[in-house]
Structure 1
Amino acid sequence: MTIAHTEQVLKALMLLSLDGDEAAYRRLLTALRVLLVGYYSRRMASAMKADMEDLVQETLLALHSRRATYDRERAFTAWFFSIARYKLIDHHRGRGGRRMAETELGEEFESDFDEEGLTARLDVERLLEGLSPKQQELIRQVKLEGQSVADTAKRTGQSESAVKVGIHRALKALGERLRGTS
């Protein structure tokens, strides 16, 4: 997923579109079209690729007709890709591909669009919001992205000791917040 196709960006565009922002809705549809082409191209036989554009359009129309049902508290990409998945299943069934449709039913979402993973990421982001921007960046780089303390120190212009202390204090603050003592 590119930066423009992250859960955070797509959800923000969806929320803006639900609030009446037509430009955000157009950007959302453009981004989702790109994602759908990739999603369907990996799941359709080459003989069915000609149907892919129709399937993309059907899915975007389904999004349009169901967007009022979207729960603003839930992960957007998981919701959207469940629509895409069932459109693909319907497509296979409509072409007599019951076996293919049954295979699709058993398949999990792409790892980037796993609802539990997205929910966990959203929870982590909410937790990080309680930290200073500097602490948030240190936690993201070292603990979430797995970068070294040395690399993070170079990128942030801090000493390695300052990075370690910053991370320690951030983790302590997160722990207190989780325990409800802060």
Structure 2
Amino acid sequence: MKRITQGGAVSGVEERLRALFVRGLDGDAAAYRAFLDDLTRHLRGFLRKRIYYLQDDIEDVVQEILLAVHNSRHTYRPDEPLTAWVHAIARYKLMDFFRARSRREALNDPLDETLDIFATSDEEPADARRDIGKLLDQLPERHRLPIVHVKLQGLSVTETAALTGMSESAVKVGIHRGLKALAAKIRGTA
């Protein structure tokens, strides 16, 4: 949809399309069909220049624009250029297409590939171990040892009780109270 020039070829296209469209609005079905056929050819050219890298999608976008033109035909004001009105509709439909395409692509992105960028830090495990170690060092041994053995090393409560000389219930209480104390330290309320 090029800008209308005085006496140029585009002006002739504007006049032809406008005449067919207005006759179609007045009930001339053949004129309206001719308008849609001509407009389809112009829209394909318009879109081939703008989304040349998405040739497979051009026909879908053309159909969306034609449908919007048809559904909005009552909004056209005959004293305004038809091409400007159609261009505005086409521009909005093209933006809708890009929004829908980006949502579709985002939904199709495998999460594993996206999250790989966060899984390759060299410093993160060492930093986390150091930070946890500092926090655990602030706990009394009766809380620290059960957390280290059960939560970090993966031993069972029974194994930890045998290793530390504590009762199984003391190991469970130590984990519970220790984790509660760690949470308070992290929040800054301890």
Compute the TM-score of the two structures, normalised by the length of structure 2. 0.47
The alignment's TM-score, normalised by the length of structure 1, stands at: 0.49
